[in-house]
Amino acid sequence: MCSSIITMMPFLAHADRVNDYEKNKTFKRWPETWFNSASDHCCELDISAIKNKKLHKEIKKWQEKVLHWGHGFSKPIATEKDVNWAIDQAKEFLRRIDEGLLKTKTIKGQWE
């Protein structure tokens, strides 16, 4: 298993916490806090085993955005839409890694 998969899985574990943040409507900047804890898992992201240049570039760009939102606290600030995008992208990257690197047939879940 490549380290990109190992790193993205703990990032996605934070997806379960989104509902807790969304319930607290008084805390408007919760996406920044969510990214602050979830993005730590992207610091060690190693995508060197990914030979597909397009996928490699997409993951690198995603990583940079996630780290900015989690550690930059500068504009543009993270929104709920950004949280959902980052989670969806991580899932999509894992599917593509499974197919391309691990040669595993995948499908997108109906309830994602």
Per-residue pLDDT of the chain (112 residues; tens, 9 = 90+): 455 556 677 888 888 888 777 777 667 788 888 898 888 888 888 888 888 899 999 999 999 999 999 987 678 889 999 999 999 999 999 888 888 777 777 777 766 5
First vs last Cα of the chain: how many Å apart?
A: 24
Instruction: Indicate whether this model's pTM tops 0.85.
Output: no
pLDDT for res 1: 46
What pLDDT sits at residue 81? 94
What is residue 76's DSSP assignment? S
Token pair listed for 40 = 């730590």
